[in-house]
Amino acid sequence: MLAEPLTVSAPGKVILHGEHAVVHGKAALAVALNLRTFLRIRPSGNGNVFIRLPNIGASLNWEIVQLQTLLTAFSADLDESISPSTEQMDKLKEFTGIATGHPDTQSLATLAFLYLYLSISAKYGQVPGVEIVVWSELPTGAGLGSSAAYSVCLAAALLTACGAIGRPPEEGMSVARWPEEELDLINRWAFRGEQVIHGKPSGVDNSVGTWGGVLRFQSGKITSLKRVPTLRILLTNTKVSRSTKLLVAGVKDKILKFPAIMNPVLASIDAISQECESVLEALAVNPLQEHYSVLEELFDINQHHLNVIGVGHSSLDRVCRATAARGLHSKLTGAGGGGCAITLLRPDTDPLMVEAARRDLGACGFESWETNIGASGVCLHSLSSLKAEVLQAFNEI
Ligand SMILES: Nc1ncnc2c1ncn2[C@@H]1O[C@H](COP(=O)(O)OP(=O)(O)OP(=O)(O)O)[C@@H](O)[C@H]1O
Ligand SMILES: C[C@@](O)(CCO)CC(=O)[O-]
Ligand SMILES: [Mg+2]
C-alpha cells in the first residue's frame, strides 16, 4: 500500500520498421528512447484523487466517494485480458462531461486515467486518495509513444499504490525494477490504457515502455533482441500534430477498401522488419559499411510503403528530401501523418554533416536531435536521483 511517495518513469520509443503493419499481425522492430515520462504519486492530504498533467495543461480533482459510485460499472471486469467496453467508456464520458465523438488530448488523458484507476480499484481493492503528477520529456502526439509511456507509468503507479504489485527494493540504488511477472502485469494494464487512447493498439508501444531495450513485436509476442549494434539516429519532430487513433482507423479503411492492393504492401513491410533484424544481428557481429547501405535502403522502401498506406505527410516528405540532400536516409516513425521522422546515421557520419542537416531541418521549422536508443523500461526512482527538471515539474524545488 502507498505509505510514501513513489516516482516511476517509462521511456518513449522509436519504431524502426513495422508501424501500422503491426496492428494487422505483422512484425515490428522498436527501440526504447532516452526520453522518458515521469510520474509521482503520493497519498493526498484530504482523501481526494487529484491528477496534474502539466504537459497538456490539465488538472483534475475528484472526491473519492464520487469515484466509488462508478466502481460497480467496472467490478464485473475482473479479467485483465478484457478490453474497455463501450458501456464503460460511455459511463466515463457521462461522468466527466466529455462529449462523444473524437475526444481531444485532455479528454483522452482523463479517460485513460479514470479507466485504469477504476478497473484496478475494482479488481485489487480501491486505490486510496492520491495526488499524481505526470510530466514528460516526450512531445505529446508526435509518434514517440507518449501515450504508451503515460499508460505504463499510470499502470505501474496504480498497481503499486493498491498493493497488486510490490514496491521493488531500492537497496541504495537510484533506480529499481519490478520482477518479470509484475512487469508483465504492468504491461497488460498499460495496454488497456492504450486501448482507451488508440482504439486498436497493437501493444508494441506499451511493451517497449515496459521492457525497454530493442524489441521485435508480433501479435503480442515480445522478443528482446540480444545482440544489437549501437545505432545513431537523428530524430526530427515536424511539429505537425496528428492522432494515432485516426491514422490507425484510416489504414484499416484502406485495407478493407483495397485488400488485394494493401495486403501485399503490409507483407512487404513485414519482410522489411525481418530483413532489418537480420542485418542488425550481422552488424552487431561485424560492422560493415554494406550493412548500413542495406539499412538505408530499407528506410527508403518502407517510407514509400507508408505513403502508399496513407500515413505520409508533406512535412515528412520535406524531412526525407532535406536529409537526402546531405546523403542521409529517413522515414517516418510511429503513426505518421506528421509527428516524427528518423534518419539513420552511420558510426562515421561526420558531426559537421549532422549539424548541417539539423540546420536545414531547422530552416523548415522542424526540431531535430541525435538520440541514444535502447534505454531501460519502466522503473522506480529514488527522489534524490531525479534531475532538477523533473523535480521542478513535480514542484519539489
Ligand atoms: N505527458 C502526458 N500527459 C498527459 N497525457 C498524455 C501525455 N503524453 C501523452 N498523453 C496522452 O496521449 C495522447 C497522445 O497519444 P497518441 O497515441 O496520439 O500519440 P503518441 O503516443 O505520442 O504517438 P504514437 O502513438 O504514434 O507513438 C494525448 O492525446 C494524451 O491524451
Ligand atoms: C501506428 C502504430 O503501429 C504505432 C504507433 O506508435 C499503432 C500501434 O501499433 O498500436
Ligand atoms: Mg500513442
pLDDT in tens, 212-239: 999 999 999 999 998 888 899 999 999 9
Q: Tell the CATH topology of 229-371.
A: Alpha-Beta Plaits (3.30.70)
| pLDDT average, residue stretch 248-260 | 97
Given pLDDT bands bounded at 50, 70 and 90, which one contains residue 396? low
pLDDT score, position 1: 64
Whether the CB of 145 sits within 6 Å of ligand 2: yes
pLDDT of residue 76: 61
Helix/strand/coil for 165: coil
Q: What SS3 state is found at 192?
A: helix
Tens-place pLDDT, residues 153-202: 999 999 999 999 999 887 667 899 999 999 999 999 999 999 999 888 99
In whole angstroms, what is the distance from residue 147 CA to residue 154 CA? 11
Domain boundaries, the chain: 6-223+375-393, 229-371
Q: Which of 205, 207, 273, 330 is catalytic?
A: 205
H/E stretch holding 38: strand 28-43
Angle at 278 between CA 272 and CA 282, to 5 degrees: 140
The residue whose CA is least distant from atom 24 of ligand 1 is 143
Mean of per-residue pLDDT scores for the chain = 94
Report whether 161 contacts 130 (CB < 8 A). yes
pLDDT in tens, 288-334: 999 999 999 999 999 999 999 999 999 999 999 999 999 999 999 99
Q: How confident is the model at residue 61 (pLDDT cuts 50, 70, 90)?
A: very high
pLDDT, position 81: 63
Amino acid identity, residue 320?
C
**What percent of the chain is modeled with pLDDT above 70?**
97
Q: State the pLDDT at residue 46.
A: 86
Per the structure block, which three cell numbers stand in for 380?
A: 522506480
Q: Which residue has the cell 526504447?
A: 32
* pLDDT tens digits along 348-388: 999 999 999 999 999 999 999 999 788 999 999 988 889 99
- Ligand 3: centre distance to CA 226 (Å): 26
Whether pLDDT at 23 is above 60: yes
In this chain, the answer to whether the domains covering 6-223+375-393 and 229-371 adopt an identical fold is no
Of 110, 340, 375, which is closest to residue 244 (Cα–Cα)? 340
pLDDT surpasses 80 at 33: yes
**Cell numbers that stand for 89 in this block:** 467508456
Q: What is the band of 77 on the pLDDT scale with cuts at 50, 70, 90?
A: low
In the annotation, is 205 catalytic? yes
Structure confidence at residue 49 (pLDDT) = 96
Distance from Cα 322 to the centre of ligand 3, integer Å: 26
Q: Please state which of the four CATH numbers 3.20.20.140, 3.40.50.300, 3.10.450.50, 3.30.230.10 is assigned to the domain occupying 6-223+375-393.
A: 3.30.230.10
243 among known catalytic residues: no
Residues 6+ apart with CB under 8 A from 333: 14, 15, 16, 19, 143, 144, 235, 339, 340, 341, 342
Is residue 3 over pLDDT 90?
A: no
- Say if CB 116 and CB 154 are below 8 A apart: yes
